[in-house]
Amino acid sequence: MTPNPNHNTIKQHTKHITLVALLCLTCAATAQVDLPLNTTTNSDTAKAIVEHYLRSLNYDALPADSMLYIESSIFDFNDRSDTLVMKRWFLPPHNHRVELWEHGAIKLGYLTNGTNNARRYDTIKHRWQRIDLADYYDKGYTYDFHSPLYTWRTNGTELQYLGEWEIHGVKVDKVHAETPGMFIRDYLFEKENGLLFFVIEHSEVFGGETDPYHRNVDWRAYTDYIHIGKSLLPYTESYKQNGRVTVINHRYAFLKKDRKKFE
């Protein structure tokens, strides 16, 4: 079930890992960061960069006659004995289910069919209980495998191009994003292939108070991408929060359609 990167992508994966490591050192250092090569500010350029990235992911190519299964191993470097596993099912267009397991026991669960059913797993009563769709989108939706960039047009995100930068000899495009109720973010895309590899999340909230279920992180990194059918999805993610670094490895598979998973 675990897809393996082909030989043509291993070199690119190594490059991404090296670039992210260098960028983490740059962010942690107090020295002045590299100056931008081009400081032109242009929202149309920012939109084009993001749209190119989303076309590369090709989410629309996920087969509608199957459901996507994602199993994510979560590894916290500050607590090597504590392993979390997140299991997610997605059936286009709006069916989602997420389960977070710890030491063989389910610790969190949400599901919805996107129309008339949403449920939360009660870890005390050990059963799924119905909730309002609004409650699901407040809490469960944050576990969707799509990133905030996927819905940037519908969630009110304002994009701004901050220019072309050079980080340790690698040219990147920097895009500034402001979404109402979310932390302000800077996205870095490798200029050579247009793939997102680093997100800096600032502590400032744009346009009011933040969603209480969204905790601020210092940065997120995407070091690998692999082909799943005709789509391109990240294989390894990592983030730093409160001084702790967490690494997440994903496994993907297409399963037979099963609508009962979302009831």
What are the distances in angstroms from CA 172 to CA 45, 185, 189? 13, 16, 5
Tell me what pLDDT residue 1 has: 40
> Over the chain (263 residues), what is each successive 10-residue block's mean pLDDT?
38 46 48 53 91 95 91 80 85 94 92 94 95 89 88 92 86 92 92 93 78 76 91 92 89 94 93
CB of 77 within 8 A of CB of 193?
Answer: no
Tokens of 94: 């709006």
Tell me what pLDDT residue 38 has: 64
Tell me what pLDDT residue 31 has: 36
CB burial class (10 A; 0-12, 13-18, 19+) of residue 241?
middle
E runs forming strands in 39-169: 66-76, 83-91, 95-102, 105-112, 118-122, 127-130, 158-167
16 CB-side CA count, 13 A: 27
Tell me what pLDDT residue 40 has: 62
Kindly list the structural domains of the chain, giving each domain's residue range(s) and its CATH number in brackets, ordered by start.
7-21+33-262 (2.50.20)
Peptide bond into 212 cis (omega under 30): no
